Amino acid sequence: MKHYEVEILDAKTKDKLCFLDKVEPNATIGEIKSMFHKSHPQWYPARQSIRLDPKGKSLKDEDVLQHLPVGTTATFYFRDLGAQISWVTVFLTEYTGPLVLYLMFYFRVPFIYAPKYDFTTSKHWVVHLACMCHSFHFVKRLLETLFVHRFSHGTMPLRNIFKNCTYYWGFAAWMAYYINHPLYTPPIYGEQQIRLALILFLFCQIGNFSIHIALRNLRPPGTNPCKTCSKTRKIPYPTKNPFTWIFLLVSCPNYTYELGSWLGFTLMTQCLPVAFFTLVGFIQMTVWAKGKHRSYLKEFRDYPPLRSPILPFIL
């Protein structure tokens, strides 16, 4: 059996960082990252980007050396992705903040509104309903992060947590300030509007959870140390659960249901910051859904042609 010689160069300076001798032909990029880490402990595998070209795409950890377009002396280029943090930690941090911040405004802790309103409660029942819905949404997200989600990548750049938390925490505080404000007024169409909004919100929350379960079942658990990570990719199809039948028309129905939930919350509270958050979220989820849709089309030749990224027949 022939062995490979592997040299790893810095993608920016082209300086040689590492030379690996007698590498097995069936070695994966993930295993090469581990070998590289032994000679450079500061660059653990998760922060390594290994590529064939200095400006090319990162190779996947599961790529096998002998299947790559390289000779018996293989040259790879390394880029440092920076400090990494687990997706689970990011999600838990992102979602705990809005939950706590919203409750601080709901209970009107001191220094938010005028002193005479400290620890008072709203006279409008929709304010209490909105708090329950908002809390339910983020508790659901926290529990899904811990017990449902499986990620294709175990980590993300540490710097992203600050951007993500600014987004979620900032919008939560902005929405909560106005919804729980002593001068807040209920929706113009009263109880009918609120009840319709609650039905939409709950329907989409159940739908979103159903999609997350269906997506989880497509991915077998990963191996230690990351059981929440899985590289397996399959085409998602409807299951016996009626909430998953939307897969017939949409590639990312989890985003479709998420949008519906926030439209319901917007209708329920009739609050401009909530509407703005829903709009910004819709734009971002559309970008993600289009990317996911393109990825499905590229990876699976038999991908159902009728599906749209996020909105059936529209977008």
Q: Using H for helix, E for strand and C for coil, what is the string for 93-127?
A: HHHHHHHHHHHHHHCCCCCCCCHHHCCCCCCCHHH
Q: Which residue has the higher pLDDT, 113 or 154?
A: 113
Q: How many CB atoms lie within 10 A of CB 155?
A: 21
What's CA 45's distance to the chain center, in Å? 21
What's CA 28's distance to the chain center, in Å? 27
Report pLDDT digits (tens) over 79-127.
998 888 888 889 999 999 999 999 999 999 999 999 999 999 999 999 9
For the whole model, what pTM was predicted?
A: 0.84
pLDDT band (50, 70, 90) for residue 228: low
Query: What pLDDT was estimated at residue 223?
Result: 47
Mean pLDDT in the chain?
91
Query: What pLDDT was estimated at residue 260?
Result: 98
Instruction: Report residue 279 as tokens.
Output: 């709009």
Query: What pLDDT was estimated at residue 128?
Result: 97
Q: What average pLDDT does range 179-192 have in this prediction? A: 95
% of the chain exceeding 90 in pLDDT: 68
Rounded distance between C-alpha atoms, residue 244 and residue 228, angstroms = 22
Rounded distance between C-alpha atoms, residue 295 and residue 299, angstroms = 6
- The single residue listed with the structure tokens 């400090």 is 83
Q: What average pLDDT does range 208-218 have in this prediction? A: 94
pLDDT band (50, 70, 90) for residue 262: very high
Q: What average pLDDT does range 234-249 have in this prediction? A: 94
Instruction: Report residue 65 as tokens.
Output: 């050396």
When mean pLDDT is compared across 46-60, 99-113, 125-139, the lowest value belongs to 46-60
Q: What average pLDDT does range 182-205 have in this prediction? A: 96
Nearest to 112 by CA among 170, 165, 173: 173
Decide if domain 4-82 falls under CATH 3.10.580.10: no
Rounded distance between C-alpha atoms, residue 86 and residue 48, angstroms = 15
In the predicted model, is pLDDT for residue 45 greater than 70? Answer: yes
Q: What average pLDDT does range 234-261 have in this prediction? A: 96
Query: Boundaries of CATH 3.10.20.90 in the chain?
Result: 4-82
Q: What average pLDDT does range 58-78 have in this prediction? A: 88
pLDDT band (50, 70, 90) for residue 224: very low
In the predicted model, is pLDDT for residue 26 greater than 80? Answer: yes
Rounded distance between C-alpha atoms, residue 239 and residue 211, angstroms = 10
CA 195 to each of CA 106, 120, 122, 199, 257: distance values in angstroms, whole numbers, following the listed order:
21, 25, 19, 6, 18
Rounded distance between C-alpha atoms, residue 242 and residue 269, angstroms = 29
Rounded distance between C-alpha atoms, residue 305 and residue 168, angstroms = 34
% of the chain exceeding 70 in pLDDT: 95
Rounded distance between C-alpha atoms, residue 86 and residue 207, angstroms = 27
pLDDT band (50, 70, 90) for residue 21: confident
pLDDT band (50, 70, 90) for residue 4: confident
Alpha-carbon dihedral 292, 293, 299, 301, rounded to 10 degrees: 170
Q: How many CB atoms lie within 10 A of CB 96?
A: 17
Query: What pLDDT was estimated at residue 96?
Result: 96
- The single residue listed with the structure tokens 């040259």 is 75
Q: Which residue has the higher pLDDT, 256 or 18?
A: 256
Q: What average pLDDT does range 297-307 have in this prediction? A: 92
